[in-house]
Amino acid sequence: MPAIEPSIQGIRRAVIAQLKPPSMPAEMWLAALAVTTAANLIDFAVVPMVGQGGNAPLIAAAVARVVAVFWIGFAIVRRMAGVPRPFAPDMSLLRYFALTLLLAIGFGLFSQIASVAAGAEAEMADIWVAHILACAIWYAFTIGLLAWQAALAVNDGTFRLKGLFVRQQGLLTPLWLAYVALILPFAAIHAALALVGAKLALPAKALAALALVDGAVSAVQLVATCALAVVAWRLASPLREGAAAR
């Protein structure tokens, strides 16, 4: 892989390059699309059950969604990093899963604070704005963990949490700006579509169509986030081929 320039332009180019073959072949795109679309269909299917008692379907749907999305994210990171058999489960999957789950729980709690700040009677537009602001702020604080997340997925034993931010000195701001430029717009569209599906009483066919559209948006968001994590990992590993000398 060519050297990555440690600037927002260089990171942007590197992320976009990761979205194309051979880093991200068509079959991996199709797998990501299948997982995100299925996750949306499951989510929209259980929305009418909320508040009707019986939490088993909701819990099962949440577990299935988390496992599927995390696993495809794990496989995408490994494929982009050139790891053979990217879907193969091993201890690196468990470590990646643990960190990703902690980040997901943290973001869920943080976004709830944003929702509370918006108010119980907030309009959909206000909830949407609060969510987007929560995304931007959350990643401003956690962008430095993307490199470690990728390192866990590829089982990079030389990459430790200690000194993580020292490794990324001068990189966190361009990484976050690249997130805002490349990924946050898709997060905004996904949030809008999810709100429509959750808040409006849509017929089944409309929900299915919404799930398909949001599946495509979510797939791009997921793959681009994985690409940014791989780029961050390469930049934070200056002795690794593909990282620019700094």
**pLDDT tens-digit series, residues 137-153:** 999 999 999 999 999 99
Helix (H/G/I), strand (E/B), else coil: 4:
strand
- Residue 173 resides in a domain: no
> Which of 39-53, 64-78, 106-120 has the highest mean predicted lDDT (pLDDT)?
64-78
pTM: 0.90
Residue 53 clears pLDDT 60, i.e. is over it:
no
Please report the pLDDT score of residue 183 as a whole number: 98
- What's the CA gap between 163 and 139, in Å, rounded? 19
- Residue 127 resides in a domain: yes
- Residue 185 resides in a domain: yes
Residue 240 clears pLDDT 50, i.e. is over it:
no
| Percentage of the chain exceeding pLDDT 90 | 63
- What's the CA gap between 188 and 19, in Å, rounded? 20
Please report the pLDDT score of residue 46 as a whole number: 67
Please report the pLDDT score of residue 242 as a whole number: 42
Could you tell me the residue range of the domain that residue 103 belongs to? 23-85+93-141+178-226
Residue 56 clears pLDDT 60, i.e. is over it:
yes
Please report the pLDDT score of residue 230 as a whole number: 97
Count of beta carbons in the 10 Å neighbourhood of residue 208: 15
- Residue 168 resides in a domain: no
- Residue 234 resides in a domain: no
Residue 246 clears pLDDT 70, i.e. is over it:
no
What domain count does the chain have? Answer: 1
- Residue 160 resides in a domain: no
pLDDT (mean) for 146-170: 89
Please report the pLDDT score of residue 139 as a whole number: 96
Mean model confidence pLDDT for the chain = 88
Distances (CA, A) of 229 to 62, 65, 213: 24, 21, 25
pLDDT (mean) for 96-111: 94
* b/e burial code for range 39-75 (CB count within 10 A of at least 16 → b): bbbbbbebbeeeeeeeeeeeeebeeebeebbbbbbbb
> Which of 56-65, 122-131, 136-145 has the highest mean predicted lDDT (pLDDT)?
136-145
Select the more confidently predicted residue: 121 or 128.
128
Residue 45 clears pLDDT 50, i.e. is over it:
yes
